[in-house]
Chains A and B, each alone.
Chain A
Amino acid sequence: MSDGQSDNSSVEGGMPDDPSDPTQETGPESNADAGPMSEDVSTGSVDGMPQQDGRRGDRPPPSDRQDPGRFPTTRRSWITRTIAKGPEGEREVAHFVMSVYLGPLNAYARSIPNFGEVDPEDVVHEFLTRKVNAPNFFQAWTQSELPLRRWLVNGYLFLLKDRRRHATTYRQRTQAAGAEIVPEFDEARFADFEREWARDLVRRAVMQTEEYCRTRDLEDHWTVFKRHHLDGTPYRDLVDVHQLPARRLARMSRTAADRLRVVFQELLERDGVGPDDINSEINRLLELVR
């Protein structure tokens, strides 16, 4: 089992020089705001996690920060850059959205009552293949004030309403029966949709981290991380299995954890979350999946 230099990368090597590493940007805005361990000393009563996001330096001014519990502002950097390539870029973004949102949107659709004539899941496929693929779909989104997930759900509901209105009209014409049934945006249903999306986000992050480790001779690091953080195996037991000291195992696990953090940032950035909003978005997701 190898224990290469990368074990130290989070502190000594990679962090200061790696612009993609979000830990490089983390740190206290004030020394007095140093997290639960220091709080514990001062009050002896802390039972929670750090209350601040820990970022420093380039945070937006207060007037630009979103209210707690609200959606983060979006910079849409990856999507904006990609659609600027023209039709090819639009297709790339559409492909990304289709691959990422098919599952969560289907779950959302299944929560909508099916009244027979218009299957909400069928409308998901129509929405993703026709609407999301349509020219300027993402141009319109970049001009909106909405997070991508909300934009997609709104667009899906709009299409579903349209299809149901059409079906109802048809039914009224042919059977003179049936009430118009139009689903409205529902916060609880949307929260379920976001939870499903968050679970999928974590699955993708884990898979990408595993792949990253495997392709960079860090498979042992991944194994230790997986055994400890995913399987819940104590380091004490891993010491016997791997015949390595616990400290070394912890460092190996931390290498994979550092990569996981970077992957989360990349995935959220790809979804339109601005760099300054990554932590607040993760905190919001933490509340959602609690």
Chain B
Amino acid sequence: MTMEHDLPVHDLLRLASGSWGPLEDLLERVARQPEAWISEATRAVGLPADHTLLDLSIEDLEAARERLRANRHALDPQVTLLANIIIITAGVCQDRMLTSASTAEVEYAITAMATAMPESWNSILDRALTSCLLDPPRGFGDQRRAR
């Protein structure tokens, strides 16, 4: 059944590559101490650490992103990375891509978050993962749909 597919060779190689190491390393740490990491990252940018993140406006998230940019030199780089992913995830929940990273990268990050974040983040992650922003054709699916 699988071999009936015209496999997305590039996408699958990309998925299997080690390029995601930094993100995986971060989220491995987050999974071990989620509350501490989330608390530090969200506090750094003035965002709530729970599902009330969904109540914020896009303007609120953009302001948080600006705060992050302004303060990033004073923050731990991994805290910066997590805060950025949280902002991006919250933006995707509202169907807004607050990053110039590719959609495939964003989906990979949010999928990784789905493994690392505590259950209290269910509603946030469910909403982000079902956003139309992550619909094919994009990233992992672009090439095969173009064929």
A residues sitting closer than 8 Å to B (CB atoms) are: 7-8, 10-12, 15-16, 22-23, 26-28, 31-38, 40-42, 44-50, 52-56, 198-199, 202-203, 205-207, 210, 226, 229-236, 239, 245-247, 249-251, 253-254, 257, 260-261, 264, 278-279, 282-283, 285-286, 289-290
Question: Do A38 and B19 have beta carbons less than 8 Å apart?
Answer: no
In the complex, which residues of chain A have a beta carbon less than 8 angstroms from the beta carbon of B77? 31-32, 34, 38
Given contacts A37-B81, A46-B101, A246-B126, contact A202 B15 (CB under 8 A): no
Interface string of B11-46 (1 = CB under 8 A from A): 111111111111111111001100000000000000
Contact B145 A232 (CB under 8 A): yes
In the complex the two chains form, what is the Cα distance from A279 to B21 in whole Å? Answer: 10
**With the chains together, A41 CA to B100 CA distance in Å?**
10
Of the candidates A11, A207, A254, A278, the one whose C-beta lies within 8 Å of that of B31 is: A11
CB pair A232–B137 under 8 Å, yes or no, is: yes
A interface: dominant SS: helix
Interface residues of chain B: helix, strand, loop or mixed (majority): helix
Instruction: Given the known inter-chain contacts A49-B14, A236-B130, A283-B17, please indicate yes or no for A34 contacting B137, CB distance below 8 A.
Output: no
Partner of A54, one of B3, B22, B27: B22
Q: Enumerate 20 A-B pairs (CB-CB under 8 Å) in ascending A order.
A: A12-B31, A22-B18, A27-B25, A34-B26, A37-B105, A41-B65, A47-B101, A50-B22, A53-B18, A232-B141, A232-B144, A236-B130, A239-B130, A246-B130, A247-B129, A250-B110, A250-B111, A254-B115, A264-B16, A290-B10
B80 adjacent to A38 (CB under 8 Å):
yes
Do the beta carbons of A40 and B22 come within 8 Å of each other?
no
Residues from chain A with Cβ under 8 Å of B55 in the complex? none
Check if A250 sits within 8 Å of B28, measured CB to CB.
no
Is B68 an interface residue, CB under 8 A from the partner? yes
> Min CB distance, A280 to chain B, in Å?
9
Chain B interface residues toward A at CB < 8 A: 2-3, 5, 7-28, 31-32, 65, 68-69, 72, 76-78, 80-81, 84-85, 88, 99-102, 105, 109-112, 114-116, 122, 125-126, 129-132, 134-137, 140-141, 144-145
Q: Which residues of B contact A8 (CB under 8 A)?
A: 31, 115
Determine how close the nearest CB of chain A comes to the CB of B130; give it in whole angstroms.
4
Chain B's closest residue to A233 (CB) is B136
A34 touches B78 (CB 8 A): yes
Q: Which of B68, B105, B135 has the most CB of A within 10 A?
A: B105
For the complex, give the distance between the alpha carbons of A208 and B80 in Å. Answer: 38
CA A251 – CA B27 in complex, angstroms?
A: 13
Taking a contact as CB atoms closer than 8 A, the residue among B10, B16, B65, B141 that contacts A260 in the complex is B16
Contact between A55 and B18, CB atoms less than 8 A apart: yes
Most buried by B among A35, A54, A205: A35
**A282 x B69 contact (CB < 8 A):** no
Distance in Å: Cβ of A26 to nearest Cβ of chain B: 3
Q: Whole-angstrom distance between the alpha carbons of A114 and B122 in the complex?
A: 62
A202 touches B115 (CB 8 A): no
Q: Are A205 and B12 in contact (CB under 8 A)?
A: yes
The 10 closest A-B pairs by CB, nearest first: A54-B21, A26-B21, A27-B25, A279-B18, A232-B141, A246-B129, A31-B77, A232-B136, A236-B130, A50-B19
A261 to B17, CA, bound (A): 7
User: A50-B19, A236-B135 are known contacts. Are A37 and B10 too (CB-CB below 8 A)?
Assistant: no
